[in-house]
Chains A and B, each alone.
Chain A
Amino acid sequence: MLRISRLIFAAFFFVLLPLLPSAFAAPRAAIENPLFDAGDIPQGKKISHDFFLKNTGDKELTFKITPC
């Protein structure tokens, strides 16, 4: 009985435990400065700004801009 318990423990330790991080891996979306204030702009001048989306997670991040 003790031997079986040890086997189960060993299986968990060496087989299942290494799989746990990938099971919990997830992408994380982080945007630095998500609000841009362009200040005073003369009418007609185009506003252009670069945002940066960073993946701080440990799995590939996919994104899509929702049409508005």
Chain B
Amino acid sequence: MLAPGGPDINPGESQQITIQIATISRKGSFRKDIYLTTNDPDAATAKLSIQADVQEVIVIEPRYINFGMIKAGATHHKAIQVINKGNDPLTITHISANPEQIVQLVPQEEFILAPKEHREILLTLTPVESKKNIYGNLIISTDLEYLPQKSIRFRAQVIPESKETSQNTE
């Protein structure tokens, strides 16, 4: 948001107030109200509103990955879908994940998704015993100027090889 306050406005004059709203973490319809306090005795508070309908162009499903309890030293997979919900072809320029040492991704190279097309990405986790909990990010890079990256988070709880897992993640 810009213009947090301004100089005094003389009678008959106007002041421009620029409001900017990021939509990276929004989807669907929303309305944002911004309040101004003034010294107008009859309107001490004024409201500016911006509404929009945010359309997701890239959808990553699932939106959050929980591997659950997984055994150290073993390999665990999760499939992720990347969907182009836009009306134009979309280039996925790069896919990466962290922590890099224990995560592999297929594919990693650039590919193009036609409108409404989707593609599967396989996320493979090979945890080491030293880490009890793993928190990571899968980052999808695109050719969109306004959305160069989109990411989802994943987590896992690593148990020693000898213990039973409570969830089958293969």
Question: Is B truly associated with A?
Answer: yes
Instruction: List residues of chain A with CB under 8 Å of any chain B CB.
Output: 26-29, 31, 34-68
CA distance A61 to B41 in the complex (A): 10
In the complex, the answer to whether B51 meets A28 with C-beta atoms within 8 Å is: no
Given B11, B14, B18, B52, which contacts A41 in the complex, CB threshold below 8 Å? B52
- A65 with B146: in contact, given A51-B19, A53-B17 (CB under 8 Å)? no
Supplied contacts A46-B146, A54-B13, A67-B4, 9 more A-B pairs, CB within 8 Å? A38-B50, A41-B55, A43-B56, A45-B23, A49-B18, A51-B16, A53-B17, A55-B12, A65-B5
In the complex, the answer to whether A42 meets B86 with C-beta atoms within 8 Å is: yes
CA distance A59 to B13 in the complex (A): 11
In the complex, the answer to whether B37 meets A45 with C-beta atoms within 8 Å is: no
Interface size on B, residues (CB 8 A): 54
Nearest chain A CB to B28 CB, angstrom units: 10
In the complex, the answer to whether B36 meets A60 with C-beta atoms within 8 Å is: no
Question: In this assembly, does B42 line the interface, its C-beta being within 8 Å of a C-beta of chain A?
Answer: yes
Nearest chain A CB to B31 CB, angstrom units: 9
Given B4, B15, B51, which contacts A53 in the complex, CB threshold below 8 Å? B15
CA distance A39 to B144 in the complex (A): 20
CA distance A11 to B3 in the complex (A): 48
